[in-house]
């Protein structure tokens, strides 16, 4: 086989690989819409999204997922308040300050990313929830705050790794020019390096949010499982992912309950898709602003 034939073969192979991801994505979208469509023929979309009660087994059933959306948003917001400062701060330390200790701090952070989510769930149930309940004198430790704390810790290595990669992609000429103009090391980091890496940092934060929204096992174990609109961060909640995981096994296939769970999955998919599109949009805006892309 000559060189030209090999190149043609490799090009076709890589094209098939690239387009296969689009096929998988299209398959997921079609499956979700097909599974959710029977529900929307019976239940108005607005009532489904804005309904304040989720009682699929009552007579008559109620299909409002607003409490589930509120639970997801509450847990996600709390987790982001924890993961963003820790993740971005860790990345800045590893990039600018850390010396030899970086060689063991970074692997330790990356180990957190490799721990199974069910282990985080066990830790939350056995250690974090009882401690939070006793320390804050709460009636129950399995609540949105506990879920936010554990999910925030889970997202730290993800945000840290992507943020550090973004910082290292900033051209060295930016730093050299800033230092040559008399700026200090701190001024260069804050006013030159971080803004130049803004697209990567923003993308890391948004993708970290997507990671948190999509987490299932941990929130199923430690969020409290109450399908009600939370009155505070210390209220038990039931996010959308845990609802699907908890109820899919007991929903009769083909029932309205079964299709309602597909509807929740569709809403969750659209939320994460919107976040990923936002991350890509922000990344492109920053790159165009800095002249790093054509």
Give CA–CA dist 268/29, Å, rounded: 12
Confidence category of residue 166, pLDDT binned at 50, 70, 90 = confident
pLDDT (average), residues 258-275: 91
Is there a single domain that holds both residue 18 and residue 157? Answer: no
* Residue 49, domain member (yes or no): no
* Residue 47, domain member (yes or no): no
Is there a single domain that holds both residue 34 and residue 149? Answer: no
Is there a single domain that holds both residue 31 and residue 174? Answer: no
Is there a single domain that holds both residue 94 and residue 202? Answer: yes
* Residue 193, domain member (yes or no): yes
Is there a single domain that holds both residue 24 and residue 129? Answer: no
* Residue 150, domain member (yes or no): yes
The two structure tokens encoding residue 212: 């948190």
| 191 pLDDT higher than 60 | yes
Is there a single domain that holds both residue 14 and residue 68? Answer: no
**Domain total of the chain:** 2
Is there a single domain that holds both residue 14 and residue 121? Answer: no
Tens digit of pLDDT for each residue in 75-108? 999 999 999 999 999 999 888 887 788 888 888 8
Q: What is the pLDDT of residue 96?
A: 83
| 294 pLDDT higher than 50 | no
* Residue 92, domain member (yes or no): yes
* Residue 24, domain member (yes or no): yes
The whole domain housing 190 covers 54-290
Is there a single domain that holds both residue 35 and residue 100? Answer: no
Tens digit of pLDDT for each residue in 12-46? 888 888 788 888 888 888 999 999 999 998 889 99
Query: What φ, ψ does residue 55 adopt, rounded to 5°?
Result: -130, 75
Confidence category of residue 3, pLDDT binned at 50, 70, 90 = low
pLDDT (average), residues 65-83: 93
Is there a single domain that holds both residue 108 and residue 233? Answer: yes
Q: What is the pLDDT of residue 82?
A: 93
Give CA–CA dist 36/42, Å, rounded: 11
| 2 pLDDT higher than 70 | no
Q: What is the pTM of this model?
A: 0.85
Is there a single domain that holds both residue 38 and residue 58? Answer: no
Show Cβ contacts of residue 99 under 8 Å, excluding neighbours closer than 6 positions.
none
Q: What is the pLDDT of residue 172?
A: 84
Which has the higher per-residue pLDDT, 237 or 285? 237
Look over the chain and give the mean of its residue pLDDT values, rounded to a whole number. 87
| 283 pLDDT higher than 80 | no
Is there a single domain that holds both residue 16 and residue 78? Answer: no
| 72 pLDDT higher than 90 | yes
* Residue 48, domain member (yes or no): no
| 254 pLDDT higher than 60 | yes
| 159 pLDDT higher than 50 | yes
Is there a single domain that holds both residue 83 and residue 119? Answer: yes
CATH number, domain at 84? 1.10.3720.10
Give CA–CA dist 46/60, Å, rounded: 18
pLDDT (average), residues 238-266: 90
Angle at 142 between CA 78 and CA 261, to 5 degrees: 80
């Amino acid at each position: 086989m000559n060189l030209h034939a090999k190149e043609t073969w490799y090009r076709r192979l890589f094209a098939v690989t690239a387009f296969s991801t689009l096929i998988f994505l299209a398959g997921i979208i079609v499956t979700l819409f097909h599974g959710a469509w029977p529900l929307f023929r019976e239940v108005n979309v607005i009532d489904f999204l804005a309904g304040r009660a989720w009682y699929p087994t009552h007579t008559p059933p109620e299909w409002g997922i607003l409490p589930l959306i509120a639970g997801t948003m509450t847990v996600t917001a709390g987790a982001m308040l924890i993961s963003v400062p820790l993740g971005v701060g860790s990345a800045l330390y590893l990039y600018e300050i850390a010396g030899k200790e970086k060689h063991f701090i970074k692997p330790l952070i990356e180990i957190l990313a490799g721990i199974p989510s069910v282990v985080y769930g066990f830790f939350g149930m056995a250690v974090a929830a009882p401690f939070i309940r006793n320390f804050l004198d709460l009636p129950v430790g399995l609540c949105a705050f506990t879920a936010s704390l554990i999910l925030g810790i889970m997202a730290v290595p993800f945000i840290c790794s992507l943020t550090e990669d973004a910082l290292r992609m900033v051209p060295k000429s930016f730093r050299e020019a800033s230092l040559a103009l008399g700026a200090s090391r701190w001024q260069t980091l804050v006013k030159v390096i971080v803004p130049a890496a803004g697209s990567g940092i923003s993308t890391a934060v948004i993708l970290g949010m997507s990671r948190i929204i999509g987490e299932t096992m941990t929130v199923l174990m430690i969020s409290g499982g109450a399908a009600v609109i939370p009155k505070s961060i210390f209220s038990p909640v039931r996010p959308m992912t845990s609802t699907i995981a908890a109820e899919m096994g007991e929903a009769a296939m083909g029932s309205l309950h079964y299709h309602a769970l597909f509807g929740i999955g569709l809403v969750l998919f659209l939320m994460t898709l919107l976040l990923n599109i936002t991350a890509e949009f922000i990344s492109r805006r920053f790159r165009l602003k800095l002249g790093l892309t054509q």
